Structure 1
Amino acid sequence: MSQKESLQALTREELIELIGLYSKNWLAMDGVWFQSVERKSGMEEAMYHDAEAWKSFTVIEARRIKQFLQLPEKAGLEGLARALSFRFYANLNRDEIHIQGNTLLYRTLDCRVQAARSRKQMELHPCKSVGIIEYSGFARTIDERITCECVSCYPDVTDSTCSCAWLFTLQP
Structure 2
Amino acid sequence: MPNQALEYLDKEQLIQLIELYSKNWLAMDGVWFQSVERKFGMEEAMIHDENAWERFTVIEARKIKAFLQLPDRSGLEGLAKALRFRFYANINRDEIVIEGNTLIYRTLDCRVQNARKRKGMPFHPCKSVGIIEYSGFAREIDDRIACEVLSCYPDITDESCCCAWKFTLASSQD
TM-score, normalised to structure 2, is 0.97
Residue in 2 that maps onto 1:93: 92
Query: In structure 2, how many angstroms separate the alpha carbons of the residues matched to 1:64 and 1:5?
Result: 22
Partner of 2:47: 48
Aligned-partner Cα distance in 1 for 2:101–2:141: 15
In the other structure, the counterpart of 1:63 is: 62
| Counterpart-to-counterpart distance in 2, 1:57 and 1:3 | 23
Aligned alpha-carbon RMSD (Å): 0.9
What CA distance in whole angstroms lies between the structure 2 residues aligned with 1:139 and 1:4? 32
Cα displacement (A) at 1:4? 2.3
Identical pairs, percent: 73
User: CA offsets per residue over residues 33-62 of structure 1, 9 Å max, x none?
Assistant: 000000000000000000000000000000
* Structure 1 residue aligned with 2:129: 130
Q: Provide the residue aligned with 1:170 in structure 2.
A: 169
Secondary structure at the aligned position of 2:90 is classed as coil
1:72 aligns with 71
Question: Unmatched 5+ residue regions in structure 1?
Answer: none
Partner amino acid, structure 1, of 2:28: M
Paired AA for residue 147 in structure 1: A
Aligned-partner Cα distance in 1 for 2:99–2:48: 35
Structure 2: distance between partners of 1:140 and 1:96: 20
Q: Which amino acid aligns with 2:126?
A: C
Runs of 4 or more, structure 1, over 6 Å off, are none
The aligned amino acid for 2:72 is E
1:30 and 2:61 matched: no
User: Which SS does the other structure have where 1:104 is aligned?
Assistant: strand
Number of aligned positions between the proteins: 171
How many Å separate the matches in 2 of 1:161 and 1:78? 24
Which whole-Å CA distance do the structure 2 matches of 1:132 and 1:70 have between them?
Answer: 25
How much has 1:3 moved relative to structure 2?
Answer: 5.6
Residue identity opposite 1:77 in structure 2: L
| C-alpha distance in 2 between matches for 1:34 and 1:66 | 27
1:143 and 2:142 matched: yes
Q: Matched residues in 1 for 2:46 and 2:27: separation? A: 17
Q: Distance in 2 between matches of 1:129 and 1:119?
A: 23
Please name the residue that 1:8 is paired with: 7
Aligned 1:113-124 pairs, distance under 5 A: 113-124=112-123
Q: Partners in 1 of 2:96 and 2:141 — Cα distance? A: 16
Whole-angstrom CA distance in 2 between matches of 1:10 and 1:4 = 11
Q: Please, what TM-score do these two structures have when normalized by structure 1?
A: 0.98
Unaligned runs of 5+ in 2: none
